[in-house]
Amino acid sequence: MRLARRAIDAACVAMFVVVFAVFLYKIVMRYAVGDAVAWGDELTVVLFIWIVFIANAFLVPDERQICFDLIDRTCRPADGARPRSSGCC
């Protein structure tokens, strides 16, 4: 588990480095060369969204995750007890 967490941390760091490098590349291309880079915006947004998803998966405990419990609530027993087999938090 520790190796997997280190690998994921390294992947997030690499994604941040790529976001920063593309951001700097966009600035240089816009002001020094005079040509705006369209793909840079898309790449930075997609990488940032993935960084947020990965960080949420590993930093927020399962009890604090947002879940949709519409089916869970409708299938609950009459006494209101939550079934143990529920996949929802």
C-beta separation of 42 from 64 below 8 A: no
Which one has a higher pLDDT value, 14 or 71?
Answer: 14
SS3 state of residue 18: helix
Mean pLDDT of 51-63: 82
The pLDDT, as a whole number, for residue 78 is 63
CB atoms inside a 10 Å sphere around CB 76:
14
Checking if the pLDDT of 85 tops 70, the result is no
Torsion of CA 42, 46, 48, 49, to 10 degrees: 140
The structure's pTM equals 0.64
